[in-house]
C-alpha cells in the first residue's frame, strides 16, 4: 500500500493518492477508501482498478488536519495501509484505523 501527498502552494489543500498494490489488489474485484473525510461511507469513494490489478484514487484533503481511514475490499474485508503516518484504535476495540497527518 502507499500514500502520496502533494501539497498545493496556493490553496490549503493536499492532493492525496491512495494505492493498493497489485499483490493485494489482484485478489479483489472492488476497493473503497473509507474514512472520516467521507463520513465512513462505504460507497462514496470507490477506487479505480488498474490493468495491473492495483487500485488507486486521489482526493483533496485540508492541510493541517489528521484523517483516519481504512480500505474496504469486496465490501467485506477491511485493510489498513502500512504506509500510514500512524494507527489509532477504533471504538470497537478489535482493530485499528490508519491515519494520515497533513
Distance CA 46, CA 32 (A): 4
For residue 89, what are the CA distances in angstroms to 12, 53, 93, 95? 28, 30, 7, 6
Domains of the chain, residue spans: 2-101
pLDDT (tens digit per residue) in 43-77: 999 999 999 999 999 999 999 999 999 999 999 99
For residues 31 and 50, the answer to whether their CB atoms sit within 8 Å is no
Report residue 58: phi and psi, to 5°.
Answer: -125, 130
Residue 49: all three cell numbers together: 482498478
**Of the options 3.40.50.720, 2.60.120.10, 3.40.50.12280, 2.60.40.10, the CATH number for the domain spanning 2-101:** 2.60.40.10
The pLDDT value given to residue 65: 96
pLDDT(1) > 90: no
Amino acid at each position: 500500500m502507499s500514500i502520496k501527498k502533494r501539497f498545493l502552494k496556493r490553496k490549503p489543500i493536499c492532493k492525496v493518492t491512495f494505492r493498493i498494490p497489485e499483490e493485494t489488489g489482484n485478489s479483489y474485484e472492488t476497493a473503497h477508501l473509507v474514512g472520516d473525510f467521507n463520513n465512513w461511507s462505504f460507497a462514496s469513494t470507490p477506487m479505480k482498478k488498474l490493468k495491473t490489478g492495483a487500485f488507486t484514487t486521489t482526493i483533496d484533503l485540508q492541510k493541517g488536519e489528521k484523517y483516519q481511514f481504512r480500505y474496504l475490499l469486496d465490501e467485506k474485508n477491511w485493510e489498513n495501509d502500512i504506509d500510514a503516518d500512524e494507527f489509532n484504535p477504533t471504538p470497537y476495540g478489535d482493530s485499528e484505523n490508519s491515519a494520515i497527518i497533513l
